[in-house]
């Protein structure tokens, strides 16, 4: 994190041609409009599972929003999550703050970095699992 902002990314071994199907599977498997993870002493994360394709991106990219909460569920950071095809056999997933951090979070940037990494770990595991499911390339439920 730098200057009161957060952006964390990682690469996943998911075929770029399958990313849209993987995100569709995630949405179909989630009983409501959001999925959430309790991340122990780090806090929690809530992800909107409706990803939208970004029309101006140079590579196929899908975005959604998420919220990161401190362990006491008092302070929130609104974020944007992006999943982008980065190569024929991989994609990148990233999370970044949607607006400048509040002074509360600015004073706790290491804790926020840990929370964002944990949230990205959970999302990455979910996307990798969805990518291995039978029929994902056919777009079937």
Domain that holds residue 83: 7-133
Is residue 135 pLDDT above 80, yes or no? no
Q: Would you say residue 105 lies in a domain? A: yes
Residue 62: predicted pLDDT: 95
Cβ–Cβ under 8 Å, residues 42 and 110: no
| Residue 10 to residue 26: CA distance in whole angstroms | 19
CATH code of residue 19: 3.30.530
Q: Could you read off the pLDDT of 6-65 as tens digits, one per residue?
A: 889 999 999 988 999 999 999 999 999 999 999 999 999 999 999 999 887 788 899 999
Q: Could you read off the pLDDT of 74-104 as tens digits, one per residue?
A: 899 999 999 998 888 899 999 999 989 999 9
Q: Would you say residue 51 lies in a domain? A: yes
Q: Could you read off the pLDDT of 96-125 as tens digits, one per residue?
A: 999 899 999 999 999 999 999 999 999 999
Q: Would you say residue 2 lies in a domain? A: no
- Domain total in the chain: 1
Q: Would you say residue 141 lies in a domain? A: no
- Banded model confidence at residue 138, pLDDT cuts 50, 70, 90: very low
Q: Would you say residue 139 lies in a domain? A: no
Tokens 């899908």 -> residue: 62
Q: Would you say residue 13 lies in a domain? A: yes
Distances (CA, A) of 123 to 84, 93, 100, 106, 114: 14, 9, 23, 24, 14
């Amino acid at each position: 994190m730098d200057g009161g902002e957060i952006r964390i990314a990682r690469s996943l071994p998911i075929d770029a041609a399958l990313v849209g199907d993987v995100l569709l599977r995630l949405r179909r498997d989630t009983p409501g409009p959001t999925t959430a993870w309790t991340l122990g002493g780090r806090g929690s994360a809530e992800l909107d599972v409706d990803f939208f394709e970004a029309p101006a991106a140079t590579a196929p990219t899908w975005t959604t929003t998420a919220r990161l909460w401190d362990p006491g569920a008092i302070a929130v950071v609104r974020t944007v999550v992006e999943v982008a095809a980065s190569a024929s056999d991989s994609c990148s997933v990233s999370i970044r703050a949607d607006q400048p951090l509040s002074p509360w979070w600015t004073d706790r940037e290491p804790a926020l970095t840990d929370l964002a990494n944990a949230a990205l770990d959970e999302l990455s595991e979910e996307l990798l699992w969805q990518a291995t499911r039978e029929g994902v390339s056919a777009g079937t439920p």
